[in-house]
Structures are given as structure tokens and as C-alpha cells.
Amino acid sequence: MLATANPLFSSSNSSFLLQATNPLPIKLQSLAAPFTTFSPHGKFTLANFAKASRFLAPVGFPLTKHLLVQCSCLELPSILQSEFGLIYSFFAEMGFNEKETGLLLEQNPALKSASFDSIRVHVLLLESVGIKGAELYHLIDKSPDVLTAKEIVPLIHFVLNDLEGKVEPAQLRRLLIATVPRFLAGFDEKVKLLIKRGIPQEKIVHVLNNVNLTKALSLKSIEEIEKTVTYLSRFGGVDLIVRRPMILNFDLDTQLIPRVELLKEISGGDEDATGIVLHKLPAILSYSVKHTGGHVELLRSFAGLTDPQIFKIFSVFPNVVSASKERKLRPRIEFLKQCGLSSDEIFKFLTKAPVFLGLSFEDNLVHKLVVLVKIGYENETKELAAAMGAASRTSCENLQNVIGLFLSYGLTYADILAMSKKHPQILQYKCGALEEKLEFLIEEMGRGVRELLSFPAFLGYNLDERIKHRYEVKKLTTGEGMSINKLLSVSDDRFLNQKQKKKPIPEGQSERMMKVG
């Protein structure tokens, strides 16, 4: 029996010994019952305690010579009690109280029969991949079989060795909570298959960190994964997976194939064209057939578009599928119809300004509409629709700055309206670039800003590569009074031919020619 007068038994040492060797006698009776096959070892000797010391040290209990000597005289029923004592102490270090530990042992026979050594090894492995502290506590609380399942050790070794421990701890924790241990077997082979099929080694961790590991790998056989990759190879293959790893979450037969086939159907069966759409937006495969099909049907019935036209819109703006059918698509198409656009004109509008379908009305379009009406556009006109198409390709701030810039150069709202009706794109150009061109037109070319009223397309040409270059070339032969329309609108080939025909005679050559004559 413990002698309370002995100085070796301070309150801390006494508490430790009681906890480590005989935590709850009443509970031990109920917990020890299934383990009567263990051979009793009589006294808990110094040798037995030294053998257990390698387990105690890591959990925060320093061993001393005095402690070993004192313990050597303790009498315990069997080594079983010491094992349970170590387990209770170990679980306490992870945040479990005695009641929680007792319930875990009672409710999980495999854990109750596991040795302390085995439990500790599993915990250390989990900590080695970053599952520690509160996360470790919650994992064990939800899935205590992680401390006993034979599949855990090879899984963690694969993560540490082959994947360099780079899989996010949160991903591994979700995998271990959601997956019955037997489905973890072969995890390494499935990952190696993805690498063999073309996913770069340096990208495999990115893929694993962005999928549902249970759905994408654990619950699928190697054959199923192989079939999925093979099917996707017709449309972009591993590139789709790398760019959108969660594609692997989907079932091939009930989800991926029907979604791809819907796109292929409206493309007229063109797999290459379907692959281009998937490459632009792999996330389109996240939408159900019902969702995407509803968008297609709306464009057919309400906008009057044909399947080739709809697929063209998907090709230039696949994000159309993410726009709400009732809150965005229908009202936007209704606006275009009210402006007098036919189905073919709606198609042309949407191929040039497809983002119009996805912009917020309250936060974006309504502000631009106010600006356009302010400069003179009339409601429900094709001119307003064209202006909205251009304005949808720029920000509200830039649109307002462009209007302000033109006003600062002496143009009126009526002038801006006239220019934008001829060339709606001036409303979408960046304000800074427009200012540079206006300065060059006035300062370098010596022209008036009102020349833009007859040729607003001047503002759409590249300043250095077209405007400056052609002006410098033509100035030598034509002088400074040339038409800016003729200067810029002719093709490169025609401009080059004109340049060669009007090549100036080198200085001095004309005098020699006169003497010869």
C-alpha cells in the first residue's frame, strides 16, 4: 500500500501513480472482464515498469530513479491494469476525460483489445501527417477505428513517403472520418494509376487536395477510375482533371457521360468542339443535365436560337450555364427583345457581349443604363442595345471616366452619342488609352477633336503600332493634312503598296536625273 507519509509521494507523484496504474478500480472490473486470458504477473516489478517506460516518456511523464524504486514495490493484479492505466493517461493527454475514454473502450471492441503500443503507434502516425491537437481529438471521437485499423499504417506511410507529407491534414481527416477503413486499402495504387495515366507528379498533390478523397478514390475501384480517365481523354483528359480535380468525384455512368453527351448533342456531335468548351470551363461538368438542359431549352424557346447558335454562345462564354435562368437569362433576353432585336440579332449580340447574360442588374447594368440614357440613348431601341453590349465589357467606373474625358476635351453629350452610335466600342475602351490617343491626335497630328465625329474608329486603333507608325510614314509623302480615315482604315497590304509607290526620291538624285536628261 502507498505510504502517504513517504516524501516520495507528493500530491503530483501520487496522482500520477494512481492514474497510470489503477485509474478507476470499479471501471477496471467491467473493462477487464473480457481479458481473463491474460496471464497474471503478480507484482509490478522494476523490470516491468522499465519496459513500459518507453511508452510513458512521450506522453509527458518524466521517469526518475526514485519513481522506479517506489513503483517496484507496488502490487497490481496484472499487466492488464498497467496497460489500461497507460491508455487512460495517453487519452487524457489528447483531451479525453475518464468518462469519454471509458465509453470509447466500451463501444469499440477492437480498441478495447488493442495494446497500448499499437494505439500509440497509430497516434504518432496521425500526428506525423499533421493531424494534431483538437483535430486529432475530434477524429478519434468520430472514428476510433483509426487507432486500430490495419489499413491506416500503409496509408500514412504512403502519404509520408510517396507524397512527401504534402496532403493537407484536413483532407486526410475528412477521408478518415468518412471512409470505412476497409475502403482505404489500395489507396496508393489508385493514386499511382492517376500518375501513370498522365497527371504530373508535381500536380498529384494538388489533385488530391481538391477532391473528395472518399468519393474520388476510396469508394471507386481501380477499374472505375481507369474507365473515367479513359473516357475523359477524348475531351482533354488529365488536363481537365488537373484544372478541375473534383471531376473525379462524379460517377462516370450517371453523371459525367450524360453531362458531356448533352454538350456534344448541341454541338452536332462534334467531340473536338465539345472538348474546347470543356477545356475553357471544366467546371461546366459540375452542373447536372437538368440544370444545363434548362438553360439550353430557354435559349431555344424564349430567345429562338438554334442548337448551333446556342453551342456557339457556350463556346465563347461557357459561364452562361452559371447564370440564373430566371433572375438573369430570361430578363436579359427580354430586354433585347424589347429593343427590337430578332433571334439572329440576339445571337450576334450574345456572341459579341456574352457577359451581358451574367452581370448583376442592381450592381452593374442599371448604373450603365443610367449613363447611356443621360447622354441621349432612347429606351427600347437597337442603338441602346448595341451601347449596352459595349458597356457590358467595361466597368461602371471606366464608362463614367470615358464620358468625363470626352466632356473635358470639349465634346457634348450629343457628340458622344453620335460617336458611340457609329462606333459603340468607344464606350468600352480604357480611359487611359483613349487619353493618350486624343493627345496624339491634337498635339502631334495637329487635328481637332471634332474630327472624331466623322471617324470615331480612330480611337480603336493601336497607338504605337498603327497610328504613330502610319502617320510618320505618310507625313513624309502626303504631308500633315491627310485624312485620318484613309490613313488608318486601309489594310496593311494596301498601305504597304501605297508606301512603295510613293517612295520619295533620295536627295540629290533628282538633280542628276535632270542633268542626264
* Distance of alpha carbon 348 from alpha carbon 360, whole angstroms: 21
| DSSP H helical ranges for 186-329 | 187-196, 204-208, 213, 222-232, 238-243, 257-266, 271-280, 289-301, 307-316
Give pairs for 486-489: CB < 8 Å, separation 24+: 488/457, 488/458, 488/461, 489/457
Per the structure, the count of domains in the chain is 2
* Distance of alpha carbon 450 from alpha carbon 460, whole angstroms: 16
pLDDT at residue 479, as a whole number: 58
Integer angstrom CA distances of residue 501 from 97, 329, 471, 506: 96, 54, 17, 14
- Cβ atoms of 89 and 61 within 8 Å: the answer is yes
Q: Which domain holds residue 458?
A: 359-463
The residues, ordered by sequence, that sit 6+ positions from 33 with a Cβ below 8 Å of its Cβ are none
| DSSP H helical ranges for 143-256 | 152-161, 169-178, 187-196, 204-208, 213, 222-232, 238-243
Query: Sign of torsion, CA 360 364 370 373?
Result: negative
Answer yes or no: is 343 within a domain.
Answer: no
pLDDT at residue 500, as a whole number: 56
* Distance of alpha carbon 402 from alpha carbon 400, whole angstroms: 5
* Distance of alpha carbon 343 from alpha carbon 336, whole angstroms: 10
The strand pairing partners of 75, in sequence order, are 43
* Distance of alpha carbon 69 from alpha carbon 475, whole angstroms: 106
Cell triple for residue 89? 493517461
* Distance of alpha carbon 410 from alpha carbon 72, whole angstroms: 101
Answer yes or no: is 416 within a domain.
Answer: yes
**Boundary (domain end) residue, out of 134, 162, 185:** 185
Answer yes or no: is 427 within a domain.
Answer: yes
Q: Tens of pLDDT along 459-477?
A: 999 999 999 988 888 877 6
pLDDT at residue 9, as a whole number: 27
Cell triple for residue 19? 492514474
CA triplet 64, 68, 74: central angle to 5 degrees? 145
**Boundary (domain end) residue, out of 418, 439, 463:** 463
Q: Tens of pLDDT along 248-303?
A: 999 999 999 999 999 999 999 999 999 999 999 999 999 999 999 999 999 999 99
Answer yes or no: is 59 within a domain.
Answer: no
The residues, ordered by sequence, that sit 6+ positions from 401 with a Cβ below 8 Å of its Cβ are 431
**Boundary (domain end) residue, out of 156, 185, 214:** 185
Torsion (CA) 184, 168, 136, 54 in degrees, nearest 10: 80
Answer yes or no: is 452 within a domain.
Answer: yes
Backbone phi, psi, residue 246, to 5°: -65, -5
From first to last of its 517 residues, what are the pLDDT tens digits of the chain? 333 333 322 333 333 323 333 333 323 233 333 333 233 333 333 333 333 333 333 333 333 333 333 333 334 444 455 677 888 999 999 999 999 999 999 999 999 899 999 999 999 999 999 999 999 999 999 999 999 999 999 999 999 999 999 999 999 999 999 999 999 999 999 999 999 999 999 999 999 999 999 999 999 999 999 999 999 999 988 999 999 999 999 999 999 999 999 999 999 999 999 999 999 999 999 999 999 999 999 999 999 999 999 999 999 999 999 999 999 999 999 999 999 999 999 999 999 999 999 999 999 999 999 999 999 999 999 999 999 999 999 999 999 999 999 999 999 999 999 999 999 999 999 999 999 999 999 999 989 999 999 999 999 999 999 999 888 888 776 656 678 888 888 777 777 776 555 555 445 444 433 333 3
Answer yes or no: is 485 within a domain.
Answer: no
Cell triple for residue 412? 457634348
DSSP state of 467: I
Cell triple for residue 205? 498533390
CB atoms within 10 A of CB 362: 7
pLDDT at residue 318, as a whole number: 96
- Cβ atoms of 185 and 152 within 8 Å: the answer is no
89-118 residues labelled b (16+ CB within 10 A) or e (exposed): bbbbebebeeebbbebbeebeebbebebee
Identify the three-state secondary structure at position 321.
Answer: helix
pLDDT at residue 36, as a whole number: 30
CA 432 to the chain's CA centroid: 33
CB atoms within 10 A of CB 424: 20
Helix 11-21 crosses helix 79-93 at what angle (to 10 degrees)? 120
* Distance of alpha carbon 296 from alpha carbon 300, whole angstroms: 6
* Distance of alpha carbon 278 from alpha carbon 285, whole angstroms: 8
Closest listed residue to residue 277, CA positions, set 239, 311, 243: 311
Domain with residue 427: its CATH number is 1.25.70.10
Answer yes or no: is 175 within a domain.
Answer: yes
pTM: 0.73
CA-atom Rg of the chain in angstroms: 39
Largest CA distance in the chain: 137
Integer angstrom CA distances of residue 426 from 312, 417, 430, 457: 26, 10, 9, 8
Cell triple for residue 100? 469519454
Answer yes or no: is 244 within a domain.
Answer: no
| DSSP H helical ranges for 57-148 | 65-71, 79-93, 98-107, 109-113, 116-128, 133-142
